Structure 1
C-alpha cells in the first residue's frame, strides 16, 4: 500500500516535471522566437539609427555632450542638434536657410582666421568699435577744427577790417605827406636859391678878405724883415750870454765823484745850491772832447744815462738807468745836460708835427707832449721867435693838399687856408732860424740831448 502511494507520488511528480519541462520548452521556444524577433527589430533599428548616428559618433565626446544637453531638456540628441542648427542658421543668416548658405555667408568672415565665426564676428565687432571710436575722435577733431576755422575766419575778418582802416589812414597820411613834401620842395628850392646867393656873397667877401690878408701879409713880412734885422743885431750884441752847442766844455755840468755798485748808483758834484731838481737826467762821458756834434748836428749819446734820485746841499745821488756794455761809469767822468744851467733857464720854440709814441703818426698833439716834457726838464716854452729863444725844435712839416676849386664847400676852403698858414709859419721859422744861426733841433736830437735815447 505504501509502495503504491510512493509510486503514485513519483508518477505525479514525474508528470508534473514533464508538464513543467514541456512548459519550459514551450516557453523557451516562445522566448527564442521573441528574442529573434527582437534581434531583428534591433538590427533593423540599428540599421536605421546608423543613418543618423554611427557607432563611432556615439563614442565622440562632443556628441555625448550634446546628448547630455538634449537629455536635460528631455529631447533627443537629433532634435537638440536640429534645433541648435536651425538657431545657428537663424542667427547667422537672420532667418531660415540651409547650412550651405550659412557656410557660404561665413566663409568671407572666417577666411584667414583660426577663431571661427564667433571669433571673427567679435573681431569685426572690436574693429567696428575701434572704428566708431576713431570716427568719434575724428568728429571731435573735425568739430574742434571747425571751431578753430571759425575763430580764424573771425580773426582774419578782424585783421582785414583793421588793415582796411589802417590802409585808409595811411592813404590819408600819404596824401598829407605828399602835400607837405610839395610844400617842402617849394621851400627848399627857394632856400637853395637863397643859399646860392649867400654863398656867392660869402665867396666875394672871402676873396676881398683874402686880398686884404695878402696885403697884410706883405706888410707884416716887410715889418718882419725889419724886426729880424733888429733881432740879429741884438743877438750879436748878447752873443756871450747864449749857449754855444759847438763848444763841448760849455755842455759839461759836473762830474762823477763816487760809485755805489750795490744800489746801481753814482754820486755827482751837483746839489741844491746848483738849482738841481729830482728826476733830472744827465749823460755821462769819459772825456769832454767826446761831446761834439756830427755832420748832421747830432750829439753822440754818452756811455750812460743817470737820473737824480736824492739831493744834498753840494752833491746828489743818481741811479744808472742806461749803461754801455764794457764801458762802465767811473769816478771822474763828466756829466752833461744841455737844458741844465744853474744860472739860466733856456727858452724853446716847438713847432710842427711830432711822433712821440713812435707809431708812425706825427700829429699836433705830439707837439703838446714834447712841450710838457721840456718843461719837466726845466725849460721854458714860447710861441714867438724872439731874441730870447735859445733852441728851435722843429717837427715834421705839415702836409698841404692841392688847392680846392672855387666851387668847393666853404669848410674845405677854410681848412685849406688854415693848413696854408701852418706851412707858411713852419717855413718862416726855419728860414729865420737858419739866417740868425739859431740852434735847430729835431725830435731825435732833442731826445739825445735830454736822455741819450
Structure 2
C-alpha cells in the first residue's frame, strides 16, 4: 500500500476509535445520569410523600399563617411543636423542657386525662363547665369562675354587713336589756322602800290599835290641834309674804317704767342732736351754706331738716324747712331749699339734722310694716325696700331683729289679715292659701317687732316722723332713693 494511503487509513482508524470511545463515554454518562435522575426522582417522590404526611398542599400554602412567625434558625415544625408544648404547659403546669421528648398525641391525651380527672373531682359541679361530650372552654370558664368569685365576694361582703348589723342590733338589744334591768332594779328598790314605809305605818297603826280608845282619841286631837296651829301660822306668813310681794312688784313696775322712759329719752336725745348749722342764706337762689363739708363725710344728695337754733327738735320731727346738698367743698357745703315755712323762714345759725346720717358713727335700724310714699291711700309694694335704701344711703345699718343694739325702729302700717278662703276659692286659686299664710306670718313678725321694741325701750318712729327727721318728706312722693 502506498505510504500516502497508509497514513490516510491510519487517520480514519484513529478517528473511528475516537468516535467509538466518545460514544462509549457519552453512553456511560447517559446511563449514569439516568440512574442519578431516577434516584433523585425517587428521593423527590419520597420527600413529597413525607411532606404530604406533614402538611397537604393547602396547608403548605398557609403554613406561615398557621404557625406564625418562625424564629431565626428554627423550622416551622419546630416552632409549632414549641407552641404545642407551651399550650400544654399552660394547661397542665408542666415545664416545656419535660415535654420536649413526648409525642404531640401523647401530650394531648395526657392533657385530656388531666382535664377528665379534674372534672371527676368536681363531681356534680362539672355540669357547670361542660362534660366529656361538650368541649371545655377554659378561658370562658375562667371568666365565669371570676364572675362567680366576685359574686361570692359581694355576697360575702353583704353577709358581713348583715352580720355587723345583727351584731349592732344585738349590742343595742343587750344595752336596752341592761338599762331595762337597771330600771327594774330601781323600781324594785322603790317598791321595797315603799313596802318598808307601809310596813312602818302598819306597825304604827298596830301600836295605836293596842292603845285604849281614849288614848287614841286624845292623841288624834293633839295632832289635829298642832296641825291647825301650824296651818294658821303658815297662812299668816303667806299673807304677809303676799303683801310684801305685791308691794315689791309694784315698785319694780314703777322702776321699769321710769327706766324705759329714761332709756328711750336718752336714745332719742342722742340721735336728735343737730348735725350742722347754716352760716349763710341766698334767698334769691334758694340756697343755704352749711358749716360741714367733705372732711365731715358730707356728700351730694344728702338731705337735712332745718330747725330753730334756740328751740329743741319738735316731737313730730317736722322742721321749718328741708334742704338737699348739691355741692360739697372741704369744710363747706351748699344745699338747695326743697321746702320752707313761709311763717318761719330760715335764718343764719339755724341747725340742721338727719336722723340716719352721722359723721362719727352708724345707727342701727329695724324696718317693719307697710308704707305709702305717694300718699294715695294705698300701700306701696316696695315701701319697706325704699325705707331700707334711704337708711343705707345715709350710712345707717338695717337688721331684721330688734336687739339691745338697735337704735330705732321705723314702723309702717300693720299688715291687714286676709279672710280664711273658702274651699271653692282654694280650688280656683291654689296659691291663695300661701298668700293668706304669708300675710299672717308678716302680721306676727310685725307684732313681735313692736313687743321687742317696747321691752328693750327702743324708740319707734312712724313713716311721717322718720321722713321729717331725715329731711326727705317733701321728696318722698316724687323721687326714689337713688
TM class by shorter chain equals 0.3 to 0.5
TM-score, structure 1 as length reference: 0.42
TM-score, structure 2 as length reference: 0.40
Greater Rg, structure 1 or structure 2? 1
